Structure 1
Amino acid sequence: MRNETPSLLVDGEQARAWLDAVFSPSARQWERLERFATMLVAENDRQNLIAASTIPSLWVRHIADSAQLLAFDREGEGQWIDLGSGPGLPGLVVAILSERPMLLVESRKRRCAFLRDVAEALDLAHVEVAEARLEAVATRPAATISARAFAPLDRLIALSTRFSTANTRWLLPKGRNAVKELALLPSAWQRMFHVEQSLTDADSRILVGAGAIGARQRGKR
């Protein structure tokens, strides 16, 4: 991935070119991405899903920003769980670009209604919406766990460890505080992650990890 796109994506044209180069979306997938972007902007007038200032750069800040997580797990398969999915970022973008079974976990009723509307409108039968706090979601093994602006890293791990297995892939955009948050974790957990540069923001980093951690490990440094 780094070899294909060494530079930051700065506009919609570059974002689309990157999507085309990395994922080769079908005409149907492009149509779904375009329609999702349109629905997202329209719904933003009714509820605050994304910052209004990011709408002009939506394809970089939200579509490509979400898709880059899938680029770190192209060969993955099985259940993907997106925590605090909000407007479906990154979950719906990943679901459009792959056939991975997707669980969107979101506690806010209006956002869940939007997620269901999009999944139905785009015929994303492999998308499931869990309208609940993560604590109330039944445990199931996750092949991949993502979380974009969900919670501080230590709390995110405490809440989601029960979904992880030895083979779980973790894809966690953490902005400019990624390294700092990672340094606060027990050393056993730190070793399971590495830090990647975001393609959409020079100051942002993504924590990419693999594996599971138990309660005993969480308490050790």
Structure 2
Amino acid sequence: MECELIDSEEAARGWLETAFAPTADQWTKLERFVALLVAENEQQNLIAASTIPTIWVRHIADSAQLLSFDTRDGEGLWIDLGSGPGLPGLVVAILSPRPILLVESRKRRCDFLRAVTDEIDLAHVEVVEAPLDRIGTRPAATISARAFAPLDRLIGLSTRFSTESTRWLLPKGRNAVKELALLPEAWQRMFHVEQSRTDAESQILVGDGQIGAKQRGKR
């Protein structure tokens, strides 16, 4: 599906305004998050330094576009796997009141996530510092993962959090179609491919539903 490419910092801000109409408070929180992310990047490698001049395109709009693929109302839990520096989880949390669970196993990154949520007052965000397989199962309305694991492993680890109404939002870059084709047919039928708004060569796998034990065994 073709869409207009967000190709500049100005275009990124314009798209955010059109897509989400952020309040003044939300804009302030986005700006502060960007500042904190850039500052912390000097202490630990959160994002590639080469992407900082285009941070609104490469990281903020790139994360926010996932929310545009799940505009359902309600308070269903959004689980962001391997959240790292809070991408997309913190961006989603700024733009949406939905409860967000950020799953990250690295302590320094979790310390950063907690510091950001405290400073910009994101009380609906929970940070869990643990590998995914050590986290208790809870139903997720949405599961996102920007850079977590190969697709088959990602789904295998996270399917216990899914329900029949779960929306999966999985940016997979240039390899989306290839990774999808390697999955069992039952898994493939859950997903369709969307074009990224921030990279002409990147794609996002958008899926719906739950993979049961019988499906996991079929290839």
- TM-score, structure 2 normalization: 0.98
Amino acid at match of 1:75: R
Shifted more, 198-207 versus 68-77: the winner is 68-77
Q: Which residue of 1 aligns with 2:200?
A: 202
Q: Which residue of 1 aligns with 2:80?
A: 82
User: For the Cα contact (< 8 Å) 1:67–1:93, is it kept in 2?
Assistant: yes
Distance 1:22 1:179 in 2: 26
What count of residue pairs does the alignment treat as equivalent?
A: 218
Distance 2:113 2:147 in 1: 17
Amino acid at match of 2:37: L
User: For the Cα contact (< 8 Å) 1:76–1:143, is it kept in 2?
Assistant: no
- Across the aligned residues of Structure 1 and Structure 2, the Cα RMSD in angstroms comes to 1.0
Q: Which residue of 2 aligns with 1:212?
A: 210
Distance 2:217 2:53 in 1: 44
Tell me the percent identity: 75
Q: Which residue of 2 aligns with 1:73?
A: 70
1:19 aligns with 2:12: no
Amino acid at match of 2:8: D
1:34 aligns with 2:31: yes
Q: Which runs of 5+ in 2 are unaligned?
A: none
- TM-score, structure 1 normalization: 0.97
| TM-fit CA distance, 1:189 | 1.0
What are the within-5 Å matches in structure 2 for residues 171-186 of structure 1? 171-186=169-184
| TM-fit CA distance, 1:188 | 1.0
DSSP-derived class of the 1:75 partner: coil
Q: Which runs of 5+ in 1 are unaligned?
A: none
Aligned with residue 44 of structure 1, among 23, 41, 46? 41
DSSP-derived class of the 1:20 partner: helix
Q: Which residue of 2 aligns with 1:96?
A: 94
Distance 2:70 2:167 in 1: 8
